[in-house]
Structure 1
Amino acid sequence: MLETPARLLRLLSLLQMHRDWSGTELAERLGVTTRTVRRDIDRLRELGYPVHAWKGPVGGYRLGVGASLPPLLLDDEEAVAVTVGLHTTAAGQVAGVEEASLRALTKIEQVLPSRLRHQVAALKGAVVAMSPGNGPTVEAAALTAISLAIRAGELLRFDYVSHHETESRRGVEPHRLVCWGRRWYLVGWDIARADWRTFRVDRIRLRMPNGPRFAHREPPDGDVAAYLRRTMGFEMWPLRARLRVHASAADVTARVNGIVTPVDDHTCLLELAVDSFDPVVFVMSMLDADFEVESPPELVQHIRKLSTRFAGAVVQDRPNTQDRPAQG
């Protein structure tokens, strides 16, 4: 049988698994009697751990939420995951958490066993954490406020700046926060537009207090991830391109991330959203299929300019300087 301190740590580890335990189950896991389990539960309560108990044939124990954060027990995999996660967060996109992440990282690394320090050091040495550079950052307070509104089902009021620098005031039923690439987005139901919308959090200026409570709607497309895969590329970029491609919709869909609409077995319409027309040219050259530009006219002009430039780079009669005889 484990000594009392070791047994208490083992008991605490079991309770932190976020499930209900019967006294019999805990006793079997610890190799003690149910009476010893009851005494150990009382000791944990004296240390500040809120362990709830209930009687009856389905009685048992559950670790509750405390007024303060008690010490946590992490297994090896959890300790490595938390350490690497904090290391990445310290160089991340959320303003105001870098210092706290470094403090927590220092505390955890100081108590890591040597076998886990080697794992963490290997991961840190192999992984490059890209700094955000001049990219947008979001305030931790904004993410927290939005998260609390989502959980409470409270309407968010905020001022928003669009891609085109247009300012507007929004009333939105927040649904989910999404971290996509280097940016944070809010997915929610826009009251005035009566439709789902996606907002960049760094362009949101919250207005307090929140609005009235609401009942959460079914997510768009039945799943937020599916909705974002369908719409993110278009709502987040200022330019649109529409092309008629002489290839099957299945072939184009397999190679291009855009909206593809079949016309017939050998033709489809491709819609792309970009911040410049250069990616469109690159995509079409990679696709290796005939196409016509349907819109916008600016894309036609851009392709004409590039075709003139490329034609000038492949003049057939240009002499090869490597074949000239050496001058003597």
Structure 2
Amino acid sequence: MTVQLKPLSEQVMVITGASSGIGLATARAAAKRGAKLVLAARSDAVLEAVAAEISAAGGEALAVHCDVGQRDEVRAVAEGAFRRFGRIDTWVNNAGVGIWGRVEEISDADMRQLFETNFWGQVHGALAAIPYLEEQGGALINIGSMASDQAVPLQGVYSASKHAVRGFTDALRMELESRGAPISVTLIKPGSIGTPMPQHIKNYTPNEAKFPPPVYAPEEVAAAILHAAEHPVRDLYVGSSSRSISLFGRVAPRLMDWFGETLLYKAQLGPRPPSPGDNLFHGQAEAKVRGDHGGSLIRPSLYTRARLHPGVTAAVLAGLVLAGASRFGRSRRS
């Protein structure tokens, strides 16, 4: 079945983890495009402030408290969205937490809590959204990671959760397609993204958490999410590093092991002590899209922009080829 998705200006979009980082960037970008928003997170005051900001700018946003690890709370988000707007067109499973540390050092309670948010939160969101999306068609967008394809040292439990998200998403997509459900299921796989996550993670190391470069702007992930909300697509990588690491992990796994052991491990540890506090069990959002990345440049992703706009990219490349050919021809004649 061909899935028909509405323009963003006609959509009702639910975003979990909407109080900071990628979720907040997506909410702001979607509001500018005219989407009606349902924003879910654990940080109530911050979430209300974001909803008020969007409303003051002429948009429409409903803030709903939600711990995605609690299935009843996620179901309440879907019910609240339907009561307010009468439908759900796109559901974005974005909420996530992180842990830095060797697997053998991390407590069972912390491991389980990370899975409650990163894996079970996406399961709960998908199961809550599907009955509403199926009514008239829509998009289910899960946020995975580069770590969905390639495990990262010091992020072993996080990597495991994102591997699980990939398996769940791929199986769910096949099951929905096999019965003709008009739902597009997309997995977004960002690389290192310049969100406040390094300041929010549970850190078992004596050093600040650091994302290995290149670090891409959160707005690039937001653009990928909004693209998937309007265009059915299976997978989207954000950042050429994410795509490259995934590819090399498949064709040269032992080389990627060496890369992780010798380079990636140290690249994730900054020179300062860890940030105090974390958001593993409780919200710690402050309505910030970007975080502190220890001097790393937060850059756009030309790869992702080319992937989202292939027609424009092809036209630019054709223009460059023609210009080069013309210059070559002139030099030959001279």
TM-score after normalising by structure 2:
0.26
Q: Max radius of gyration: which structure? A: 1
Q: Name which structure has the greater RCO, CA cutoff 8 Å, separation 6+.
A: 2
Q: Which has the higher strand share?
A: 1
TM-score after normalising by structure 1:
0.26
